[in-house]
């Protein structure tokens, strides 16, 4: 495992360096570390296998003045403090149905981390009154102190009508205006 991750980590750092030298201002990566209820491994394994590579990537990106955006589905609360310690600048998707409380994370790390999310994976299945309540709550919590981008967890479903999509946009606009 050490050899495999070393090979992968070296390759990722080389690719990131090439992108940074080309002038990108953000490096994004996906490491889905959790399930809907917990981590996919013991917390100490994060420190052993992932933390050094995440930190090295952040140090490299920051040396170029760039940001690092991490995507991880699942309940990663047990290692979130370690993820923040790597220097990650932005984290998504923060799905509340997976135990990722926007309010708790904002209170604990909102001064060190830009949070992207706040919408659950079922949002497009909910009626508009439920959507309105959820979006207003997420924006009110997330907008405090800045460093927040409202986002869903899985993209726009293919079967979502244009009418309902437009309603989502309008609700989102209203929620954001009220938060200002």
pLDDT along the chain (180 residues), means of 10: 94 98 97 94 96 98 98 96 98 94 96 93 90 93 93 85 92 88
For residue 129, give both structure tokens. 């009154």
The domain in which residue 155 lies consists of 2-179
Residues 119, 97 contacting (CB under 8 angstroms) = no
Quote the number of domains for the chain: 1
- Residue positions counted in the chain: 180
Per-residue confidence (pLDDT) for residue 179, from 0 to 100: 83
pTM for the whole thing? 0.90
Q: Cα(123)–Cα(130) distance, rounded to whole angstroms?
A: 8
Q: Cα(50)–Cα(31) distance, rounded to whole angstroms?
A: 9
Question: Residue 114's domain is classified under what CATH number?
Answer: 3.20.20.210
Residues 140, 179 contacting (CB under 8 angstroms) = yes
Q: Which of 100, 33, 112, 29 is nearest to 71 (CA)?
A: 29
Longest Cα–Cα distance in the chain: 52
**CB half-sphere exposure, 44, CA atoms < 13 A:** 0
């Amino acid at each position: 495992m050490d050899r495999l991750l070393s090979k992968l980590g070296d390759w990722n750092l080389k690719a990131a360096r090439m992108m940074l030298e080309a002038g990108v201002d953000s490096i994004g990566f996906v490491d889905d570390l959790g399930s809907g209820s917990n981590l996919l491994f013991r917390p100490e394994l994060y420190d052993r296998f992932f933390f050094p590579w995440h930190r090295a990537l952040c140090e490299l990106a920051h040396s170029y003045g760039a940001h690092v955006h991490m995507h991880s589905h699942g309940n990663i609360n047990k290692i979130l403090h370690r993820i923040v310690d790597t220097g990650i600048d932005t984290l998504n998707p923060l799905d509340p149905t997976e135990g990722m409380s926007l309010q708790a994370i904002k209170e604990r790390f909102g001064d060190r981390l830009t949070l992207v999310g706040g919408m659950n994976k079922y949002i497009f299945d909910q009626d508009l009154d439920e959507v309105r309540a959820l979006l207003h709550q997420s924006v009110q919590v997330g907008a405090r102190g800045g460093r927040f981008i409202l986002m869903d967890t899985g993209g726009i479903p293919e079967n979502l009508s244009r009418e309902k999509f437009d309603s989502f946009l309008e609700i989102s606009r209203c929620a954001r205006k009220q938060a200002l």
